[in-house]
Structure 1
Amino acid sequence: MDNFSSQLLSTLLALAFVGLLAWVSLAMLKRLQQGRLLPGSRPDADELRFVRALPVGAKERVVVMQYRGEEWVLGVTGGGISLLSREPLRATSSDEVAHPVSPRA
């Protein structure tokens, strides 16, 4: 019986170690995919950032993206992607962020 207890304990310890190793590996992989593996690191300035999408049909939509200090408006259809507009990002003031202007109906 003593042999069974020691084998069970060593198996449970090995299982706990493998579970912890898997959890740490998945957490690091998630951080790596998000581009922030090191603590305090910021996303790259060249990062492509999704802003919003507006469906205009069954398979068509207008998508707004930000890339390298520009805002891109793309037309996306089942057959391809077209650049509709590309403009520099405008600087947003802190007052504008705190009190956004809403369209009136």
Structure 2
Amino acid sequence: MGTALSGLFGTIIALAIVLGLAWLVLRGLRQWQDRGFGRPADLPDHPMRFVRALPIGQRERLMLVEVKGELMLIGVSQGSISLLRNWGETAAPPPIGESAP
């Protein structure tokens, strides 16, 4: 019984170490990537944020992204990207299920 518990305890410790190292590596990669795009590492949020995607075909999808406070609906296909709607900084999109004016 003692060997089984020590083996389980060792496994838990090893898992905690691996998860901690993975977290540190991912955090470092994120900071490295942010510096590559010319963004200071101490800023908390990206100027561009992915909100939601809706597949409408095999390779086509609608994507909702926020860029510097503006919400945009874009259509993405294999060969192009098109801006379909821009809600600006102050206006919000209609709730799901309601139509736009």
TM-score normalized by structure 2? 0.51
SS in 2 for 1:65: strand
Show structure 2 runs of 5+ residues with no match. 1-20, 35-39
Unmatched runs of 5 consecutive residues or more in structure 1: 1-22, 93-100
* Matching residue's letter, 1:26: V
Q: Does residue 1:71 correspond to 2:68, yes or no? A: no
Identical columns (%): 32
1:60 equivalenced with 2:86 (yes/no):
no
What CA distance in whole angstroms lies between the structure 2 residues aligned with 1:102 and 1:62?
14
RMSD: 3.6
Q: What is the CA distance between 1:70 and its match in structure 2?
A: 0.6
**Which protein is bigger by CA-based radius of gyration?**
1
Alignment of 1:90-101 (within 5 A): none
Q: Supply the distance in 2 between the matched residues of 1:102 and 1:73 (Cα, whole angstroms).
A: 13
Aligned length: 72
Q: Which runs of 4+ in 1 moved over 2 A?
A: 25-28, 33-38, 88-92
Using the alignment, how far apart are the partners of 1:33 and 1:57 within structure 2? 35
